[in-house]
Chain A
């Protein structure tokens, strides 16, 4: 499923062509159109509510990308990714609030960009620490060790100590104007949207690029058969840990992005359920596919919101429906995972792949 068939009459002559970003002018045009859509159409067409949902989609993509890398590409099942997002969010917030930045740096608006990079590295290193057991254990046992990341990081360290810094005993809130990049103060949904688009593109391209390298091939080899990969000379411990680092790194970026969306954080923003949700996203979108992360995130946010809007219209006839919607939503989440695993095990990305091939091979799509 990883390779899309080329349109009739096109073929590659060397390896670099085979791995190229834009293999046909059509793909290049499609990407340019997507860029125009993201930056010049959607921000003007969408109202604040749908921009807010778009930001949630972006946050979900950033979160799920790391989970996809670990589960879908490296075969390391994780259920503790919310912890690394939390580490990113807290690192970024603490750096902005507690570091005595020189006034010139504050005026230049580089505190937040620096904090994003620092948060990504800290979350990456933190993720490696919880990835260490992957050297010894795998499968079900690895799931439990990654769950420990949530309990140790969020429920213990962040809740008991980090969130108490300054003796406030409540959520950290960032004063207006502290989240800015250069002269650009991020203080509206549309600005958060632009930031989200940039971060999502950078992280997605970064991961896609990594997958084209020796490192990415090693991850896939470990996922497919770790014993065979080791027999081929791949240092599986190093590569597994590098996967944890990159996943944590992107999680840190997600956490830093989250603070721009709310300007406040507390440990309650990063429940264990969020890790589970992210795994659901990649199962529905399609494990082992970057498209799957995007499709899964859109599905989980948009479909759930459409359900919510539908329930709201019906609330005039069934007044209890809105209050019971959380049950419906969770049931829909569970049902969607069951249905996808049974009838569409490769997720939405597989449908997209089939659709593309249908058109590429047309009129010989049989």
Chain B
């Protein structure tokens, strides 16, 4: 019995010391972060999570929130919703003022809860469903939403490829959408891109269901061939997009390829090889290593905090993580200056005071208003050509379709 006490008592003592060790830290601004390092979306989630951590180091090294250091509680939730809920409750208990979320799963699951709790939730899911403040007031992000990006990418292809082609005056261009029907992320911009296709005079073929985990898409490509599309919209992530364009290449589908932001990154050419040549995609920020303001900082912090990962293996996901941190930090700085560093303060005195705010890193300036949380109407479209990403267009939807932008396109 005495031996057991000798073992158990020190164990409890050690646990107690660790449990209360954190209370010795001075005044800090607490931020929670949910990331996926082990779950279904970890292929892109790992790099994003590294970007979040490195960016907060950068912010703290550069003055934090008006001198207050940010303490980030960053958890891998494995893309499990019950885990996300538990961790979110933990963030509330820790008095976190803001949460950096991840994908569609946790963002949509927690959307009613964060609205009730008035907790700004900055996600890597850019669904247009999250941009209407009357429905999801506390869901925010720095990027153009998926629907805006889809409209812009199709427009860019129409302007730069179709309008210069020989067929343009002879017939309508043909579009097919290839994505996983059941995935909320993949299906989010489909209604918008079809609406845009109608606006630009496209003929739209039957959608093709390609799983996010697809290793073969030949049957879908063969189905597409019957329609003879001029361009294919890929709504999945890079791995399955690579599968589809590789099969399209080998089966001789004569069509251009355009993708969502998560569909093209530095891994796509590695996975798809020659088939990736000419693929176009929207990107809400620069690709890793591009010559844009602040990229040197990103590279320096990547090297400092994750020296084991070579620079050429880092992805645009790192930059996306940085951008969400930078926009959240700016909102917190503004709210703190206004003396209201609360969830509601961060929204109203932080985000909703930003007008054409430039984050750097190749982003377009962002604006949030109390009635419209679409950060920007401008989208940069890149093309993979000759071994590098080249910007082919910077489409401004608001400038080209001001009425629809103002009155019709919010929230879908």
Evaluate contact between B20 and A170: CB separation under 8 angstroms. Answer: no
A43 contacts chain B at the CB level, 8 A cutoff: no
Interface pairs (11), CB distance under 8 Å: A48-B89, A262-B81, A264-B108, A266-B81, A266-B108, A306-B15, A313-B19, A319-B53, A322-B74, A322-B75, A326-B38
Contacting residues, chain A, for B190 (C-beta < 8 A): 169
What separation, in Å, do the CA atoms of A163 and B15 have in the docked complex? Answer: 44
The number of chain B residues with a CB under 8 A from chain A is 46
Residue among A56, A169, A261 having the largest count of chain B Cβ atoms under 10 Å: A169
Evaluate contact between A56 and B82: CB separation under 8 angstroms. Answer: yes
Supposing A269-B81, A323-B76, A325-B76 touch, asked if A49 and B111 sit within 8 A by C-beta, the answer is no
Contacting residues, chain B, for A49 (C-beta < 8 A): 89-90, 92-93
What separation, in Å, do the CA atoms of A176 and B111 have in the docked complex? Answer: 12
How large, as a class, is the contact surface on chain A?
A: 35 or more
A155-180 with Cβ < 8 A to chain B: 159-160, 163-164, 169-171, 173-174, 176
B333 contacts chain A at the CB level, 8 A cutoff: no
Contacting residues, chain B, for A224 (C-beta < 8 A): none
Evaluate contact between A170 and B38: CB separation under 8 angstroms. Answer: no
Interface of chain B, helix or strand or loop or mixed? Answer: helix
Supposing A169-B187, A271-B80, A316-B22 touch, asked if A160 and B109 sit within 8 A by C-beta, the answer is no
Interface residues, chain B, CB within 8 Å of chain A?
A: 15, 18-22, 25, 35, 37-38, 49, 53, 73-83, 85-86, 89-90, 92-93, 104-105, 108-113, 116, 127, 129, 181-182, 184, 187-188, 190
Closest chain B residue to A163, Cβ basis: B182
Evaluate contact between A268 and B105: CB separation under 8 angstroms. Answer: yes
Other-chain contact of A174, B20, B49, B112 (Cβ < 8 Å): B112
Contacting residues, chain B, for A262 (C-beta < 8 A): 81, 85, 109-110, 112-113
Supposing A48-B92, A173-B108 touch, asked if A313 and B78 sit within 8 A by C-beta, the answer is no
Shortest B298–chain A CB gap in Å is: 19
Interface residues, chain A, CB within 8 Å of chain B?
A: 47-49, 52-53, 56, 59, 159-160, 163-164, 169-171, 173-174, 176, 187, 189, 261-269, 271, 273-274, 301, 305-306, 308-310, 312-316, 319, 322-327, 330
Other-chain contact of A263, B18, B20, B21, B113 (Cβ < 8 Å): B113
Evaluate contact between B116 and A316: CB separation under 8 angstroms. Answer: no
Closest chain B residue to A51, Cβ basis: B89
Other-chain contact of A323, B75, B104, B182, B188 (Cβ < 8 Å): B75
Supposing A322-B73, A323-B35 touch, asked if A266 and B105 sit within 8 A by C-beta, the answer is yes
